[in-house]
Amino acid sequence: MISDLFINIILVIAVTLIIGHALKDISEKFINTFYSKILLGVGGGIFGILLIIYSIHVEGTTILMDLRVFAIMMTSYLGGIIPTIVAGIIIELYGIVHYGMNISSIIATLDILLYIICFYLIDKKTKVELNRWLLKTLLSLIIILTSFYLLRNVENVQMICLLVCFVIVGFVEYFILDYVRKSNELYRGYKKDSTKDFLTGLCNRRQFDNMFNITLKRVAENNEKLSCLMIDIDYFKKINDTYGHSIGDIVLKELALILRKNCRVFDILGRIGGEEFCVLLYDCHKDQTYEIALRINKIVATHKFPIEENKFINITVSIGVAIYPYTTSKLDYIKEEADRALYNAKNSGRNKVCYSEIV
């Protein structure tokens, strides 16, 4: 029995780590979709089948105890009710095919139905993850022991063996799942921090350059339009010197919000310098680009930027615009052309929009 238990623990650890690794690069938005929940349920079902195949033999008896319930618990932990139902159906269908239709199969079916219902109720009523897991483990143990009493005359010593096996695997599974979940959260956090500007939440310089190169390739391949807006806060150093860097940070964050609200959801926005921002407008017509640039310039000039409670300041921005193929024929140099237009805007009075000339 010890060797069977060891195999099951290794199997639980291996499958949990593999699933955790597979999920780390998947966005939480996709994980929460119906399609991904079905896939998770299928994975949980396959895990349950493996646990059935590598059942634990209770010494001195003909009893085989499998730990399929942990596949259902894991699926419930990761995805909720939908994948739990899918995993339960797959596991039970395999059990019927493998063992045939008999009293044991009927009781096993009822057990899985109870697991699904009870796990759902526990998830709804209990907020703390550890408490959820402990309640599910205790409930599962009660259901399993009750089923064994109904099916066989199991001695107390054997029951203790079953209890020990179940508790050991239960704790191992929870701590591995908890480790995987926290590791994935840290990984996603680090990954996000490596691509986003810590202050504004826009793309940082490295990520923006990467997205810029991808966009250039796409535009060239599809013979489409691309607009580039270089935006710089006028006299930003004076703001920092007068009100302090904390107020300067507030101004940067507020400006980032204005840019988000006045650009399309698929446009690429980045903070590429201290007070310098860049926006890529994909497949945007010349007139629409002008409209967006002028709207941003006007909204910023009239927006009240908070510096203290009930105290605000106004700022302005200068914007340089380059549009391929309208104001520049050199796609690879569109950012340089927009930067040159920005330079002209700042040197001709600031608080204005200037456009690059066709070259």
User: How far is Cα 127 from Cα 130, in angstroms, rounded to an integer?
Assistant: 9
Residue 308 falls in the annotated catalytic set: no
Spatial contact of 303 and 331, defined as CB atoms under 8 Å apart: no
Is residue 306 reached through a cis peptide bond, with omega within 30 degrees of 0 on the bond before it? no
Could you tell me which residues come within 8 angstroms of residue 69 by beta carbon, excluding any fewer than 6 positions away? Answer: 111, 115, 140, 143, 144
Selection from 116, 270, 125 nearest residue 205 by Cα: 270
Which of 185, 221, 254, 275 is the catalytic position? 275
Selection from 195, 303, 188, 189 nearest residue 251 by Cα: 303
User: How far is Cα 317 from Cα 74, in angstroms, rounded to an integer?
Assistant: 53
- What letter does residue 196 receive in the DSSP assignment? B
User: How far is Cα 195 from Cα 192, in angstroms, rounded to an integer?
Assistant: 5
User: What burial class does residue 342 get, using C-beta atoms within 10 Å of its C-beta: 0-12 exposed, 13-18 middle, 19+ buried?
Assistant: buried
Q: What angle do the packed helices 156-195 and 68-79 form, to 10 degrees?
A: 30
The one-letter code for the residue type at 183 is S
User: How far is Cα 23 from Cα 134, in angstroms, rounded to an integer?
Assistant: 24
Beta strands in the chain (DSSP E): 56-57, 64-65, 226-233, 268-271, 276-282, 305-308, 311-313, 317-324, 353-355
- For 73, 86, 122, 123, the CA distances from 117, given in Å and listed in that order, are 12, 13, 9, 10
Hey, which residues are catalytic here? Answer: 275
